[in-house]
Amino acid sequence: MVIDTIMWHNPRCSKSRQALAYLNQKNIRPIIRLYLEEPPTVPEIKNILLLLNLKAIDLTRTKEIEFKALSSNIIKDNNLLIKTLVEHPKLIERPIIIKGQKAVLGRDTSKIDKII
């Protein structure tokens, strides 16, 4: 059985483009999910957080204007922040590479080797 590699990708992000190029160099053609156009659901975010072993804040782009506008009660509440990530996918850190029951944040391409 072949397990597909999936990449949550933003083509405008240099780190995301680098991760895709790295996968292509390894002859891996991931299924691309343009998560800004097809935002993840709450269950999908919860699953990714489980696979990454992270809290929602660790998956959040905290320098974005949308994040800075959030109230502290949202930032401190994992479930509220997950809902915010679904509503504002721009706040999701990228890229995320998923293979089976493993996932990594691919900002550092050396981390990608852990799952491929």
Tokens of 108: 């550092």
* Active-site residue (options: 2, 4, 6, 13): 13
With residue 80 as reference, give the H or E element that holds it.
Answer: helix 78-87
13 is catalytic: yes
- Residue 110 tokens, joined: 């050396």
Rounded to an integer, what distance in angstroms lies between the CA atom of residue 36 and that of residue 58? 18
Which whole-number Å values give the CA distances from 77 to 49, 74, 110, in the listed order?
Answer: 14, 5, 31
Instruction: Give the SS3 label for residue 60.
Output: strand
Alpha-carbon gap, residue 71 to 14, rounded angstroms: 29
Residues carrying an active site annotation: 13
